[in-house]
Amino acid sequence: MSTITTHVLDTALGKPASGVAILLEKQCADGWQSLAQGQTDSDGRINALTPEPLAAGHYRLTAAIGNYFTASGRDALYISAQIDFVIPASGNHYHLPFLISPWSWSTYRGS
């Protein structure tokens, strides 16, 4: 069983991105099932996205970054950033952050 945490950093401004909507979904036999959602806090984090551990499976984490940039009056190329990942049976904690700017985004597995 595994837990997921995330945070969003606005690399163009060099600060946390607050107010970014995040959605966690799991792939099931009949499509994607929404498991959790939230908004980043003033530190760009969602600490309790998965208060209960997740089973092994195929998941995706989507950040609505277009809305974040629009709210700050900036044009942006991407309206969302999505991390598509697999948790193995022997999984543990996964920290999956988003590094965003108006013209790019990236991720890595944090600790």
Give the tens place of pLDDT for each residue, 39-98: 999 999 998 788 788 899 999 999 999 999 999 999 999 999 999 999 988 778 889 999
3-107 fold: Immunoglobulin-like (2.60.40)
Strand ranges, E, within the chain:
3-10, 15-16, 21-28, 31-39, 45-46, 57-63, 81-87, 93-95, 98-101, 104-107
User: Which pLDDT does position 73 carry in this prediction?
Assistant: 96
From the list 81, 78, 61, 58, the residue with the least C-alpha distance to 69 is: 78
User: Which pLDDT does position 92 carry in this prediction?
Assistant: 83
